[in-house]
Amino acid sequence: MMFPTALALGAQLLMPVADSVPTLNVDQVCEGIAQQGGVTFHDPQIAQEKKDCLESEKQIRDDLVKQWSSFSAADKTACTNESRMGGDSSYTELLTCLEMARDVRNMAKEEAQPPAPAKPKK
């Protein structure tokens, strides 16, 4: 019976995120980025590019730690689940998702507010 398996998988994807920045394995994404920038797989710059990428991801994670409480629980859950799907994970992707979700929500709130009454001209 496939339904219970699908239900269990779906429930796992909707599990709430602990209220702390998740630990992501950014090694794969940085390795891929470094190799794309290299001329060949033996390019000596690949190691440095990977190191730079890992440092950048660490800085972004540190920024996420500072901002984490400012994001909604629903957005944290959705974006964390999205960042873990499909293999390569990155804090850059997670932060971008959280910022976009917040900004879209804020734009929707602004549009839902009635316009301020016009001031009479003298």
Beta strand residue intervals within 1-122, DSSP E? none
Q: 99: burial class by Cβ within 10 Å (0-12, 13-18, 19+)?
A: middle
pLDDT at 1 over 70: no
pLDDT tens-digit series, residues 11-22? 444 444 557 899
Q: What is the pLDDT of residue 71?
A: 95
Model-level pTM? 0.72
pLDDT tens-digit series, residues 57-73? 999 999 999 999 999 99
